[in-house]
Homo-oligomer: A and B are copies of this chain.
């Protein structure tokens, strides 16, 4: 057994890979809010500590979920961009969104509900593609 995996179960192994407290949150903020820099990510609603953000970005890059580049006009700011592998997590993120939206209102009164989750439920597969294309369009715009 690989040291980083508890066993040979694909579900448990997926959790070993991206099941920490922050990885999917960072990826979600890149995907849905187009956050791309260290500063933007550190200022997101979840208020991740900068040392944790730093270590998560390194880990996500090592694992191939994101890539780190510098824009041509700026030597300081790094851009963190989701790779195809990062985008492959969209179906998981959508299911988490639907589940949270459906099951957490009673215990979490201030939960955001101004989102189109009812539409997403009607055709999940379609929205996987929609979110992916939206993201890729946005990246293409930025890296002009």
Contacts and interface: CB of A to CB of B under 8 A. Distances in A.
Nearest to A17: B104
A7 B46 contact: yes
A143 interface: no
Contact of A13 (B5, B14, B111, B117): B111
A126 interface: no
Copies in the assembly, this chain: 2
B112 A8 contact: yes
Given A8-B111, A9-B28, A19-B21, A99 B104 contact: no
Given A10-B96, A10-B99, 13 more contacts: A8-B108, A9-B46, A10-B111, A11-B93, A11-B96, A11-B97, A11-B100, A12-B28, A14-B104, A19-B21, A19-B24, A89-B99, A92-B92
